[in-house]
């Protein structure tokens, strides 16, 4: 039982008469400034935009009663230090990709992406309709966080390589940047996997410290300049068929806010979630055309590589099934994915195939 559950249970263990004397929550009055730290370098295309969108919307919807002071990675704490900063009260909230924090709990992976996991539509269905949001909250309670989805990059590209990938053996010894369980799966194929913050990836690729990297997709990748270094680009990846981002507030801070301000934070996060997804979708197509025109070779992994990805991904996820909460989250996500995918395949996917056939 976590600390909050223990305290709550203890408080309710007294007499009913004593319970009636409990005071209502004391909501902070007047204007407040909340510090938001992020896993993103300032200006990183799309992901920093989602954090800024959350911050600006909260400030606007509260008429300035809550002002969000956004600190990009490195301005207050490092990119991978934001989780601990918020749980410790050093900062009030963070915006980031929760799969960076699987060291705190592996269940966090599902609130960004898991290899061979859900598309953006499937992820949203699970989160908002099939129990994902409640599981995110259950996980957050352990660490004193109140979390919501607050962005979505959509399907992420397979990545940039210094050579063509023709078989699973090509990953042997390859120095590759890939976070989360996707990176762990790639390690099973012999790759030397590194987890670097986004702001450090270009220099690592340019210096030869890594042989390849995934980042997000054509628009963000073009902005990062990876096409200046390598020309082999795989557009479909196994690791992040969607990648949702999170806005998490220190739970004591969140509980101190009025119900109206709490609702505004949740609403701002949800709005940024769909806004960010459309931002990426609106920019990726044109960016891919520009990359191709600049000489980038757009490729797809062969089936033998996809098969190897699938086995490695399954083995990686299975390693965490001894954790009860991880198993609960995984089972919930996969059950929802199978349910929604059945209808999506018979409706949206079938239509898209016919549309492409008819209209060319």
Check residue 28 and give its pLDDT. 56
Q: Is 312 part of a structural domain of the chain?
A: yes
End-to-end CA separation in angstroms for the chain: 58
Residue 7 has pLDDT above 80, yes or no: no
Q: How many domains does the chain have?
A: 1
User: Could you tell me the pTM of the whole model?
Assistant: 0.89
Q: Is residue 222 part of a domain?
A: yes
Query: pLDDT tens across 22-77, in order?
Result: 344 455 568 999 999 999 999 999 999 999 999 999 999 999 999 999 999 999 99
User: If you average pLDDT over every residue of the chain, what do you get?
Assistant: 92
| In a domain? residue 228 | yes
- Assess whether pLDDT exceeds 50 at residue 1: no
pLDDT digits (tens, 9 = 90+) for 135-193: 999 999 999 999 999 999 999 999 999 999 999 999 999 999 999 999 999 999 999 99
User: For residue 181, is it within any domain?
Assistant: yes
Which token pair is 28?
């902070």
Task: Please report the pLDDT score of residue 226 as a whole number.
Answer: 97
| pLDDT reported for residue 312 | 98
Confidence of residue 124 (pLDDT cuts 50, 70, 90): very high
- Does residue 253 lie in a domain region? no
Q: What is the mean pLDDT of residues 229-251?
A: 97
For residue 196, the domain's CATH number is 3.40.190.10
CA distance 280 to 49: 11
Per the CB < 8 A criterion, the answer to whether 232 and 56 are in contact is no
Strand order in the sheet with 32-38: 66-71, 32-38, 93-96, 244-250, 145-152
Q: How many residues does the chain have?
A: 360
Predicted pLDDT of residue 30:
80
Tell me the average pLDDT across 9-13.
Answer: 35
Residue 347 lies in a domain: no
Contacting residues for 95 by C-beta, under 8 A, at least 6 apart: 36, 37, 38, 39, 40, 50, 51, 54, 55, 70, 150, 151, 245, 246, 247, 248
Domain containing 296: what range?
159-240+287-322
Task: Tell me the two tokens of residue 98.
Answer: 């929760």
Rg of the chain over Cα atoms, rounded to whole angstroms, equals 21
Could you read off the pLDDT of 275-301 as tens digits, one per residue?
999 999 999 999 999 999 999 999 999
Sheet containing 175-177, strands listed edge to edge, beginning at the edge strand earlier in sequence: 192-194, 175-177, 212-213, 159-161, 232-234, 297-299
Confidence of residue 18 (pLDDT cuts 50, 70, 90): very low
With b for 16 or more beta-carbon neighbours within 10 A and e for fewer, the 110-134 pattern comes to: bbbbbbbbbbbebbbbbbeebbbbe
229: in domain:
yes
Do residues 111 and 330 touch, judged by C-beta distance below 8 A?
no
CA distance 29 to 35: 17
Q: In degrees rounded to 5, what are phi and psi of residue 147?
A: -115, 145
**Does the pLDDT at position 9 exceed 50?**
no
Q: Is residue 35 part of a domain?
A: no
Is-contact 153 276, C-beta < 8 A?
yes
72-98 pLDDT tens trace: 999 999 999 999 999 999 999 999 999
72-to-40, 49, 115, 241 alpha-carbon distances in Å: 6, 11, 27, 26
Predicted local confidence at residue 360, as pLDDT: 81
Res. 12: pLDDT tops 80: no
Q: What is the pLDDT of residue 343?
A: 95
- How far apart are the C-alpha atoms of 320 and 304, rounded to whole Å? 26
Nearest CA-CA partner of 296 in 230, 210, 204: 230
Coil/strand/helix, residue 74: coil
């Amino acid at each position: 039982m976590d600390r909050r559950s223990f305290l709550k249970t203890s408080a309710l263990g007294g007499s009913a008469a004593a319970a009636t004397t409990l005071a209502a929550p004391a909501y902070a009055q007047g204007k407040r400034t909340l510090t938001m730290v992020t896993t993103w370098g300032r200006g990183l295309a799309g992901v920093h935009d989602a954090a800024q969108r959350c911050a600006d919307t909260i400030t606007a919807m509260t008429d300035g009663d809550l002002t969000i002071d956004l600190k990009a990675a490195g301005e207050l704490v490092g990119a991978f230090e934001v989780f601990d900063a918020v749980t410790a009260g050093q900062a009030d909230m963070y915006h980031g990709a929760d799969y960076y924090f699987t060291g705190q709990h592996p269940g966090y992976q599902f609130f960004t992406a898991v290899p061979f996991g859900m598309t953006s539509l499937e992820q949203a269905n699970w989160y908002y309709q099939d129990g994902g949001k409640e599981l995110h909250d259950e996980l957050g309670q352990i660490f004193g966080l109140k979390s919501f989805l607050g962005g979505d990059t959509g399907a992420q590209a397979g990545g940039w390589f210094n050579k063509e990938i023709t078989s699973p053996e090509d990953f042997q010894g390859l120095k590759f940047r890939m976070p989360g369980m996707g990176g762990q799966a790639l390690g099973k194929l012999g790759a030397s996997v590194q987890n670097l913050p986004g702001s450090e990836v270009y220099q690592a690729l340019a210096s030869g410290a890594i042989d390849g990297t995934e980042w997000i997709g054509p628009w963000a990748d073009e902005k990062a300049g990876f096409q200046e270094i390598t020309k082999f680009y795989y557009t479909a990846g196994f690791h992040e068929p969607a990648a949702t981002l999170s806005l998490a507030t220190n739970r004591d801070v969140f509980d101190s806010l009025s119900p109206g301000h709490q609702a505004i934070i949740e609403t701002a996060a949800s709005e940024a979630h769909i806004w960010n997804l459309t931002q990426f979708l609106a920019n990726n197509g044109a960016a891919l055309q520009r990359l191709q025109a600049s000489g980038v070779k757009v490729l797809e992994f062969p089936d033998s590589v996809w098969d190897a990805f699938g086995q490695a991904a399954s083995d990686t996820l299975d390693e965490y099934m001894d954790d009860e909460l991880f198993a609960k989250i995984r089972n919930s996500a996969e059950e929802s994915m199978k349910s929604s995918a059945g209808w999506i395949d018979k409706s949206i996917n079938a239509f898209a195939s016919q549309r492409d056939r008819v209209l060319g």
